[in-house]
Chain A
Amino acid sequence: MKMLINVAETVVTDALRGMAAAHPELVVDVENRVIARRDAPVEGKVALVSGGGSGHEPLHGGFVGHGMLSAACPGEVFTSPVPDQMVRAAAAVDSGAGVLFVVKNYTGDVLNFDMAAELAEDEGIQVAKVLVNDDVAVTDSLYTAGRRGTGATLFVEKIAGAAAEEGQPLERVEAIARQVNANTRSFGVALSACATPAKGSPTFDLPPGELELGVGIHGEPGRERRAMMTSGEIADFSVDAVLEDLQPTGPVLVLVNGMGATPLLELYGFNAEVQRVLTERGVAAARTLVGNYVTSLDMAGASVTLCQVDEELLRLWDAPVSTAGLRWGM
């Protein structure tokens, strides 16, 4: 499979070099793999640090900036970063007001962030953690590692980031992050598998006439495989899967997210169907975001994430943000 790369081994560092060149407002430590706000640490402000495997861009490096993350640490493709990176990121952005780690629920991310939290506390950094686990495709039972963290990560990072920007204390920023996660659910579909640079070919075989329902963001197959459906049918299935679990009693934020290889033409068309289903189910969309935000390399497909909001969360969502991947109000 053709890829615009040099060799698989340098994919992440090459991308970081390019990111540094494009974004002088960021400090990109290519060697240690930490992306931080140039103005950090901001006096009196709680710092937000997130990270995870590469291949989900703009998540997380693209969300570093005013109103969102203070720093991000990208791991190898689909592999969580190591504790050293997380501690380095925390130390670079902590102003003394503490650091919130935003962790997606994957075994590797959880274990490495747990180790990093211990090490950071040894260095005198106050650390809180929020675990993002929004994917309704995974049964949360004794027999899995729990729900995956997917699209909700963007809502958590944006809304908690706005709270931190306002100068709210660590325990409050953490509580808001937990509230956002608890109020958010996602469901994703794949029209094609993705190809990792290390493997160079699709991670699973998906014939042209079929799709995978209930996928995560690591190229793993989903909950079930079916014959290809129309955009409207996929919207019915996805939104219903989310609503069955979330059962919102108020307005929601909507994220219609591309997996990396689905054009905006298709995503906007899909969003029209998502909005139709929401209207039919009596759910009000307070705000809608459409685009490639939490991607899975070159996978074709989309996910729907809904977050029930109150006035406070909506106000924080609307607050100004200025990052490489998300920007409004300033």
Chain B
Amino acid sequence: MLDADFFRRWLTAATAAVDREAARLTELDSPIGDADHGSNLQRGFVAVSAVLEKEAPATPGGVLTLAGRQLISTVGGASGPLYGTLLRRTGKALGDAPEVSEAELAAALRTGVDAVMTLGGAAPGDKTMIDALVPAVDALGTSFDAAATAAEQGALATTPMQARKGRASYLGERSIGHQDPGATSSALLIGALAEAARDE
């Protein structure tokens, strides 16, 4: 079973991963976006880690909803509402339980990903974070490591796609040939989940 501490470790690992990869995310964002994805997420996750240190919600749902609200309040751009909604809605789906099973997390995360798809209007194949998150959620039934691998492969698979959502969509065909920064950061988030599970 997964307790609040597990979810705090997930977000701590995510903060470290975003911190480590911020320059690469910004680099990926510069030919097709506006060169700020890394620095924006870095600001948000640092704030998430800070608020979790100050307030320590006792439930998995509490940790994720607090983190989601913090991302919405600090990131801005599209990433703030999208990642904020992902964590907040996943957290709300987990409810008040002090511990949740892996299957419950998988189901809740699917609810979160669905909420992101509704909010951003993106579907698989649009060259967005959804292209990493959907395969990850599908693979979460197998294992955390399988989810991380699926997310990573999903991010790589965005390279030949033409963007239909977000700022890269303004470039039309010229967006082809660049890996999507949002799918890449989503793979980092799922990678951090696998990392937290390995530390169990």
Q: Which residues of A contact B (CB under 8 A)?
A: 8, 53, 75-84, 106-108, 111-112, 115, 137-139, 142-145, 148, 196, 198-199, 203-204, 216, 218-221, 223
Contact = CB atoms under 8 A, between A and B. Distances in A.
Interface residues of B, number: 37
Given A79-B36, A144-B164, A221 B171 contact: yes
B31 interface: yes
A284 B107 CA distance: 61
A145 B167 contact: yes
Contact of A80 (B26, B30, B76): B76
Given A137-B170, A220-B34, A220-B171, 8 more contacts: A76-B43, A79-B40, A83-B72, A115-B72, A198-B36, A199-B36, A220-B167, A220-B170
Interface string B33-73: 11110111001000000000000000000000000000011
Given A115-B72, A199-B26, A108 B33 contact: no
B26 A145 contact: no
A79 B77 contact: yes
Contacts of B80: 82, 108, 111-112
B158 to A, nearest CB: 15
5 closest A-B pairs by CB = A108-B77, A111-B81, A108-B78, A218-B34, A107-B78
Contacts of A221: 31, 171, 174
Nearest to B165: A145
22 contacts: A76-B76, A78-B36, A83-B72, A84-B73, A107-B120, A108-B76, A108-B80, A115-B72, A137-B170, A138-B170, A139-B172, A143-B164, A144-B164, A144-B169, A144-B170, A145-B170, A198-B39, A203-B34, A203-B35, A204-B31, A220-B33, A223-B172
Contacts of B165: 107, 145
B145 to A, nearest CB: 32
B124 interface: no
A221 B34 CA distance: 10
A223 B171 CA distance: 6
State the main secondary structure of chain B at its contact with A. Answer: helix
Contact of A199 (B35, B167, B170, B172): B35
B81 A199 contact: no
A101 to B, nearest CB: 15
A145 B174 CA distance: 15
A148 B26 contact: no
B78 A111 contact: yes
A32 to B, nearest CB: 11
B153 interface: no
B133 interface: no
A53 to B, nearest CB: 8
B81 A79 contact: no
